[in-house]
Amino acid sequence: MKLIRTRSEPQLSTDNPHGARHTWKLLVVDDEPDMRELTRINLKGFRFADRDLEIVEAASAYEAREVLAQNPDIAVALVDVVMETDDAGLRLVEYIRKELKNTVVRLIIRTGQPGLAPERYVIDHYDIDDYKDKTELTATHLYTAVRSAVKSYRDLRTIDLNRVGLQHVLKSAPDIYRITNRSLDQFFQGVLTQIIGLCNLSGSSFISTVDGVIATFDNHEAMLQAASGSLASEDRFDRIRSQCSEAVLTGQMPNGLRKDAYVVPLLVQRAPVGFIYIEPTQDLDESDRSLIGMMAQQCSSALENLRLHIDLTQSYDHMLDMLAKIAEFKDSTTGSHINRIDHYTRLVAAELGMSEEEAILCGKASRLHDVGKVGIPDAILRKPGKLTPEEYEVVRSHTQIGGRILADDRILEMACDVALHHHERWDGSGYPEGRPSREFHMVTRIVSVIDVFDALVSRRPYKEPWEPLRAAQEIENGAGTQFDPTVVPAFLKLYRSGSFDSIIFAAQHESSFPEPQTHQAAL
């Protein structure tokens, strides 16, 4: 995963100018003011890895503790041994390593009285990185010692950042790969949040804020999917759209993008499907770029998985619709009934505490409750008059026919349960198996209630619609015998609140209730 970067001068944006570069912090702990001043003079102009040196001072070990508390990003500490006590510096080293548990800061002991702290003893018994006698610490030697220590600090922080970054990627992976029915805009906003979070993992990344966008290609046209900061403006995105697309398609950063901007391609099977564009307030170091590239690669894979999932979900929805339409064409009087049952089911499932996603799945399963009617002869199914006992038995067999139709596919397991058992009763006196309905899926028990209610309030060739209040009372009377006593109160609450009014109106006026918009998977 290649990050395409630019070093050109800013062309498009001056609303987010770069701030000061991050500096390497050197703590000088010495009770001699002249020694602290000499250190400043000898290290004047010090630069490493394009960053300046910032010197902070402490006149005692006690004062140094306060400075460390205010500056957790100290890179190197030059520590005198003899200050308020003969071993104050050594006690400070123990405090840093054992109490602060700071194993990254580089510690250099610098003493003018080596007899009080012999080098070999100090090296063997204290976790320090260097030992210098002040008499031998010339300007050149001081520069060399500090440069080596800063380099070691940088390398350790890079390793630590990679470790933290890996933890962050692993922690975020379940969110990225979690397959849900959430829309793609939620997915992309989550990815962008992860990228920005990755850029702010620790102080060593030297990034204060990040503006970014994620875009995908639709017939080579970049479509905005998620944005943060100033880039959330449609106008800002329009100004970088073509340049970012060119960068991804050609591998070269064109003129016109802000200095230190980055374009990270999103690749699926090596083909660009979009990009992540970021504008850090300060340049990213190699560790930052590596981690962002790793994250972008994971996001590309997750995007492909999500698209495949949505394709499968759409195929599943289409299959449900086709099966439901078969039942509708077989019995035209129940065509709109299928859509109404779907809508009722979602509302009741949500009222019972199911998530939106679970309620949607329940609604889909409910659409196939009468699919078994495809096996019922038309002469019986469309008979305008009262059925004979023999004909009624034939109609009852639609549950078993529906169960057989749906039994061989795991993804239709819930729908199969509904089709086979939605005429079972709470007291076990229903059909086809005569088992208590508590043994079946909750959606089956929901459909048992609303199927009866919708049939009662609907107009049929052989009956006039009931008044909704009378039908609701019938449902209430059946709680604990015919119906699940936990489903009925939820149903009645929604009925009394008016949540079902539009569905009931559609049933009584023989018009097809429109499918809920959430029925279609979002893509």
Q: Which two tokens stand for residue 376?
A: 């019922």
Question: CA torsion, points 409, 414, 416, 419, in degrees to nearest 10?
Answer: -160
pLDDT tens digit sequence for 166-224:
665 566 556 655 555 455 566 666 667 766 666 655 444 444 446 788 888 877 788 88
Quick check: 16 pLDDT over 60? Answer: no
pLDDT tens digit sequence for 310-357:
777 777 777 777 777 776 666 655 557 888 999 999 999 999 999 998
Catalytic site residue 373? yes
Taking a C-beta distance cutoff of 8 angstroms, is the pair 398, 368 a contact? no
Q: Return the higher-pLDDT residue of 298 and 135.
A: 135
Q: pTM value?
A: 0.50
CB-based contacts of 502, cutoff 8 Å, min separation 6: 513
Give yes or no for a cis peptide into 468 (omega within 30° of 0): no
Instruction: Identify the H or E element spanning 69.
Output: helix 61-70
Q: How confident is the model at residue 397 (pLDDT cuts 50, 70, 90)?
A: very high
pLDDT score, position 344: 97
Q: Which of 103-117, 211-225, 273-287 has the highest mean pLDDT?
A: 103-117
Taking a C-beta distance cutoff of 8 angstroms, is the pair 246, 2 a contact? no
**Structural domains of the chain in order of their starting residue, each with its CATH number:** 4-15+178-307 (3.30.450.40), 24-137 (3.40.50.2300), 331-519 (1.10.3210.10)
Quick check: 515 pLDDT over 90? Answer: no
Stretch 149-156: mean pLDDT, rounded? 90
State the catalytic residue, choosing from 330, 364, 373, 463.
Answer: 373
Neighbours of 444 (CB within 10 A): 26
